[in-house]
Amino acid sequence: MSEIPKNLENPEELEDAESSPPIPAATLAGAAGRPSRWERRRTDRQLWTLAWPTILSQILASGVSLIDIAMLGRLGSDSLAAVGYATQFFMLAQSLLLAVGAACVALMSRAIGAGDTLRARRSLAACLVLAFAVAAAMVLPVLLVPGALLRLLNAEPIVVELAIPYFQLTLGSVLLLALSFTLESGFRASGDTRTPLRIASGVTVVKLVLNVLLIFGLFGLPRLELLGAGIATLLSQGVGVALFLRASRRGSSARLLGLGARDFRAARPLFGEALRLSLPGVGERAAMHLAILVYFALLAQYGSVVIAAYTVGVRILSFSWIPGIGFSVAAATLVGQSLGAGNAAAAVRSGWRAVRFAFLVSCVLGLLYALARVPLARLFTDDPGVINALDPFMLVLALAQPLLGIHFTLAGSLRGAGDTVSPMLASIVGNWAFRVPLAFLFTRVLALDVIWVWSTLVIDHLARAVWIIWVFRRGRWLSAGRVLEETSEASTSAVQ
């Protein structure tokens, strides 16, 4: 993989009057030539500085998720299946918030790169309002008709009964998650990934302590099992919001993140831009998670043991795609700030260097998980049927990890530039042209063994990786970045 795609080595090829706006001369000049060794090393240092706290934060989040499964797995396969069904909706809500967070990083990092603090603050305010609205839209139907939503996924009656209280509490916490996640995106856009790590550490401790106390009823407390896990999630999210609000008003962070009522009033002209950037991300996440829900419903015909295996396996393997998330966040920040400063070459270099790191780390972790899949499964469940179903599923997921590392990271670079459409199209192609149709074919038409349904995951991620690499090499996302810059400036001028 070259440092700069071939079509970026000749700046005149970037200007296409029919398909995209012309790129400013300074940006074109910055994209010419190959980076020096010093520039590459500086980019690598910046990427690692931004990525490692994010990676550790994600490890903490995944660790908590795994401990949840390890604790609840002792309650039986029905409880595990109940968590799996509720988790699908939680992941859908979380993914919609990720779309708003990506818009926040794109808007804020561009403004920060251009030295416009006022626009950065207003961008954060607009994204906070938008994120809360999205969360409210997700939570309302869960509070009103939880059973009907669970039955849409072919959940068995006993599983529905177990899942409803946990489902409502877990999804209710999304309102709090919307605030903390958007503030976290603001910290990351400013280049501060250590504060979110410290807060994640505190929230992790709170969550684990509450889990132990409420699930198993220690120290005289009632044994609440799944209900206790839901209460622990809600309370720990509240702690997270409080810590983020406190951190945003302290020290140097207050200049960018310590918002007041005036910032929210002045942010109104930026709602449209935040929404424009978020909608493709929402479309991407909706397409992906609706596909997962359909996939989940197809899996349900194999029984609750397979659903429990899916729930445990995804949680275990989530560690191996964390590097892709970490480098995706780092690349989005550097790409946005570089384009805000008019340096296209640095933006391109950040994307390619980030994907190299993510690919290598994902390969190593994928191999480790493939070799240790059975011992890992036994750590989180003692059900022989679930362990047997996990063996082939974890092997398939391990094979897909390098592909996830590639498309996670390059998609993050594109979002940082303001191109949120290309990742959406990649998700639609991977899920709806490959994963869902093939899963339907293997289950409903050919009635094959579940291993064939697992294998569709690899095909899905391969398609997405190929698509994203092609888009990034074309280089038209640089023009998308210029459009974002001009639109944001016009929105800010409207309130000055």
**Residue 358 placed within a domain:** yes
End-to-end CA gap in the chain: 45
Is 1 part of any domain? no
Amino acid at 246: R
| pLDDT value of residue 229 | 85
Supply 270's token pair: 């930026």
HSE-up (13 A, CA, CB side) for residue 345: 16
Q: φ, ψ for residue 351 (rounded to 5)?
A: -60, -50
Give the chain's domain count: 1
Q: What is the pLDDT of residue 36?
A: 67
pLDDT at 489: 52
Which residues have C-beta within 8 Å of that of residue 233, sequence separation ≥ 6? 169, 170, 173, 207
Residues of the chain with pLDDT under 70: 1-36, 317-319, 480-496
Tell me, yes or no, whether 336 lies in a domain.
yes
153: containing domain: 6-493
Number of H helices, E strands in the chain: 22, 0
User: Residue 60, Cβ neighbours under 10 Å: how many?
Assistant: 18
CA dist 363 and 181 (Å) reads 29
CB within 8 Å of 120: residues ≥ 6 apart: 107, 108, 111, 112, 189, 190, 256
For 372-418, where are the alpha helices, taking DSSP H only? 373-380, 384-416
Cα 331 to Cα 325: distance, rounded to the nearest angstrom: 10
What's the pLDDT at 164? 85
62 dihedral zone (left: phi>0; alpha: psi -120 to 50; beta): alpha
373, part of any domain: yes
83-113 burial string, b = 16+ CB within 10 Å, else e?
bbbbbbbbbbbbbbbbbbbbbbbbbbbbbbb
Asked if the structure places residue 224 within a domain, the reply is yes
Q: Which residues contact 3 (CB under 8 A, 6 or more apart)?
A: 34, 35, 40, 348, 349, 352, 353
pLDDT of residue 434: 94
In a domain, 197, yes or no: yes
pTM of the complete model: 0.72
pLDDT for 5 equals 36
Look-up of token digits 């926040």: 104
**pLDDT tens per residue, range 260-285:** 888 898 888 888 888 888 888 878 87
**Structure confidence at residue 16 (pLDDT):** 35
Express the helix, strand and coil content of the chain in percent, nearest 5 each. 85, 0, 15
* pLDDT score of 495: 45
Dihedrals phi, psi of 12, to nearest 5 degrees: -65, -20
